Structure 1
Amino acid sequence: MDTAGTPSLDRIRIGSAPDSWGVWFPDDPLQVPWERFLDEVAEAGYEWIELGPYGYLPTDPARLSDETARRGLRVSAGTVFTSLHRGPAVWDATWARVGPVAELARAMGARHLVVIPSFWRDDRTAEIVEPPELSAGQWADLARGTERLGREVRERYGLGIVVHPHADTHLDTEEHVERFLDATDPDLVSLCLDTGHYAYCGGDSVKLIETYGERIGYLHLKQVDPAVLAEVVENGLPFGPAVRRGVMCEPPSGVPALEPVLAAAQRLGVDLFAIVEQDMYPCPPDRPLPIAARTRRFLRSCGA
């Protein structure tokens, strides 16, 4: 505890991401320019960032290193989307996407690659593109493919993969997350626990940390508005429209409470990134910075 009685979360490294500025795509007229994102994320008080969608930030390591360094920023991770439940036939296409992101992340000094399973429902059109439940064979393909990805990313790039349960993907609920963890090798596959997505899908983040603590390799911090979530569940809304209705809200007004999540993570006794992501696509360009600054102040009040 510090002298004011606030727990010291000295194992937690706070950052933010393009997602908190309404950035979901490499190039989109509804999104703020990357220069503005970098300026504002530094102004809001963050030192760590993620790359966001590959191609949004400069992909030349020398240029990106210059742009981040002069703003006092460092990169914690890159992000890739995968469809490994589709089996070995998608491996080459998967690796073609993974390689450039992993290369840039390594060049920027990052140690993590966030891996998000593909959506079964399109996040732009809400069209259902696959059944929401995997077959036993697809679960096996997902587990083996993810282990292979973890092994090859580590061997080729020195990065660890952290798999991100996400709304409208096959890795969403507590049941699915636990099934995935039980089916994969802890030495190859860790989890990126996104507190907002896990709550959106009915999960308890503190329980997951306390039960599978050795598998937690990374955190995304966000909260869900319970009233909006109830409407989403009642009407079966896809994730994209749910975001536009404000289902992901500014801390500390939503759930889960972040203080016990951060305390549980601190008790693991390992260094963890905790990257703020408040899904807001699309959003007015002047909206993100004040929210990001208030969120940083709130997390400092929690000891982080």
Structure 2
Amino acid sequence: MGPVRLGAVAAHFGRDVDRTLAKLEAMVAGARRDGVDLLVLPGATIGGYVPDLQFPWASGLSRTEGVQDLPPAFALDAEVVQRVCALAGDLVLCFGFCELEDGLRYNTAVCVTGDGVLGRHRKVHQPLGEYAAYAAGDRFAAFDTPVGRMGLLVDYDKTFPESARALALDGAEVVAALSAWPASVTNRAERLTDDRQSRLFDIYDAARAAENQIVWVSSNQTGVFGDLRFLGQAKVVGPGGQTLARTGTKGGMASVELDVEVEVARARRLLHHLVERRPAAYGAVAHGEGLRHG
């Protein structure tokens, strides 16, 4: 396939869908001018995220008790999704939105081109009170794209090694991890770079790439929404766990050109983690059995 340019975006997106679409038009045009082949936008790109992780069902930007401020929800074939596909054109574009199906709302990431949806992932792992705002997904699956076989994750999913491992075992050589990842809500630091969640965000990005010897493209929201202060820190990580390009806490795009197949093959030339696994030795741990509490 040869070299491709991968871009990971740090940016702020809120409730105003029309404003977001206008912002995306300029963003995608700029990426196209820069020769980007894969552009990964943050989680909750369309319509924003919840304003409060602990009580999303009973709080809003107005702070009026009982008032909900949940993201607008759209079906996968909704006009807004089709408009983003049209914007993508020949780019492979990943973005997040609140998906509506059969009355349930999902925190969803999709990968699209001008031809339509290539892949979809509904966030499986839910922190704190997120279950009150979204239903949970139940699977991880890779899919083919013009930039290679890919997988998608949505923020908290990357905390769990099994998520990325499932995608790698399904043949993904690139994983796009879309986030609306905030600073700690229980122990805030004055500076974002000193925040506990800031350190964990970077650790997970590097570890998941290195564990699976894959290319990792990590996006994130920036700025403040409701009670949440987002970290930014978008990056592209190579299959050895090395950060190839990154943003800071403010908006921007981390971009790098590389040959994914060559880089993954090089990382796996002597030590091939997926081949050298010993599943039989993991026993009940692999299935979550025997978990002890307290």
TM-score by length of 2: 0.42
Greater length-normalized contact order (CA 8 Å, ≥ 6 residues apart): 1
Q: Kindly indicate which of the two structures has a greater share of residues assigned to strand.
A: 2
